Amino acid sequence: MQKRKHYSPEYKRDLVDLVRRTGSSCRQIALEVGVNPNMLTRWVREAQTAGGKAFPGGGTPRDEEVARLKRELTRVTRERDF
């Protein structure tokens, strides 16, 4: 049985922003960063309905650092693949 993954609110917001900025599909971006495509689609839908109040919660500084590093890795990987 797998352990459930938890993502920080900042990471979710950044991925939703990436979907909106690039115009790429949720599935494509989710597969690139290693997130379930259905989950990313749900995050985008939640962000649309809740606006700025989407993904409340407090992450730890360590979670924020991991999220920042994942975003950076995603950006660098996309640049390299381009």
The structure's pTM equals 0.62
More confident residue, 50 or 38: 38
What's the gap between Cα 15 and its chain centre?
3
* Residue-range domains of the chain with CATH: 9-81 (1.10.10)
Q: Above 80 in pLDDT, residue 3?
A: no
SS3 (DSSP) at 26: helix
Task: List pLDDT tens digits, range 39-72.
Answer: 999 999 888 887 666 776 655 667 778 888 998 9
CA dihedral 29, 82, 64, 10 (to 10 degrees): -40
% the chain with pLDDT above 70: 87
